[in-house]
Amino acid sequence: MPSRRRIVPVRMDTTSPDPSLPPAPDIPPQPLARMCHRVAYAPWFQWTSTAVIVLNAIVIGVGTYQEATAQFGWLLNLLDEAFLIYFVVELVIRIGSFGTTPWRFFRKGWNIFDFIVIAAALLPGIRENVTLLRLVRLARTVRLMKAFPSLRILLTAVARSMPGALGLLGVCVVVLYLYGMVGWILFAEAEPTEYGSVGQAALTLFGLLTLDNVGEVVRDGMEVTAWAVPYYVSYIFLAGFILVNLLVGVVITSMEEARQIEGAQTNFRSREPETSADTAEILARLEALQRSLNELQSRDDSRN
Instruction: For residue 48, give the CATH number of its domain.
Output: 1.20.120.350
Task: Give pLDDT, residue 273.
Answer: 45
Q: Which domain holds residue 36?
A: 23-147
The H or E element that residue 55 is part of is helix 43-62
Q: Report whether pLDDT(178) > 80.
A: yes
**Exposure of 132 by Cβ count < 10 A (0-12 exposed, 13-18 middle, 19+ buried)?**
middle
163 in the same domain as 129: no
Give the per-residue pLDDT at 26.
Answer: 59
Question: Per DSSP, which regions of the chain are E strands?
Answer: none
**104 and 194 belong to one structural domain:** no
Q: What is the pLDDT of residue 168?
A: 84
Q: Taking the chain, what is the end-to-end CA distance rounded to the nearest angstrom?
A: 12
User: Are residues 199 and 81 located together in one domain of the fold?
Assistant: no
Q: Please give the tally of structural domains in the chain.
A: 2
Percent of the chain at pLDDT > 90 equals 5
Q: Is residue 40, in this structure, part of any structural domain at all?
A: yes
Using one digit for the tens of pLDDT, what is the confidence trace for 97-143?
888 888 888 888 778 888 888 888 888 777 767 677 777 777 777 77
Residue pLDDT, tens place only, 255-276 = 887 777 767 666 655 554 444 4
List, for residues 5-36, the tens digit of each pLDDT value: 444 444 433 333 333 333 454 566 677 888 88
Task: Choose one of 122, 147, 172: the last residue of a domain.
Answer: 147
Same domain for 216 and 227, yes or no, is yes
Percent with pLDDT over 70 in the chain: 80
Among 93, 119, 147, identify where a domain stops: 147
Q: Is there a single domain that holds both residue 97 and residue 244?
A: no
Query: Does one domain contain both 211 and 294?
Result: yes
pLDDT tens track for 212-246? 778 888 888 888 888 888 999 899 888 888 888 88
For the stretch 145-173, pLDDT in tens is 766 767 777 777 777 788 888 888 888 88
Q: Give 184: exposed, middle or buried? Use CB within 10 Å, 0-12, 13-18, 19+.
A: buried
Whether 86 and 138 share a structural domain:
yes
Is residue 161 in a domain?
A: yes
Closest CA to 32 of 79, 102, 85, 83: 102
Note whether 111 and 92 are within 8 A (CB).
Answer: no
Domain presence at residue 11 = no
Q: Which residues contact residue 99 at a Cβ distance below 8 angstroms, ignoring those fewer than 6 apart?
A: 28, 29, 30, 33, 34, 37
50 in a domain, yes or no?
yes
More confident residue, 22 or 91: 91
The verdict on residue 8 lying in a domain is no
Last residue of a domain, one of 131, 147, 163: 147
Range of weakest confidence among 50-59, 71-80, 288-297: 288-297
Contacts 24+ apart (CB under 8 A), 133-141: 134/60, 137/56, 137/60, 137/80, 138/60, 140/53, 140/56, 140/57, 140/83, 140/87, 141/53, 141/56, 141/57, 141/60
Is 12 inside any structural domain?
Answer: no
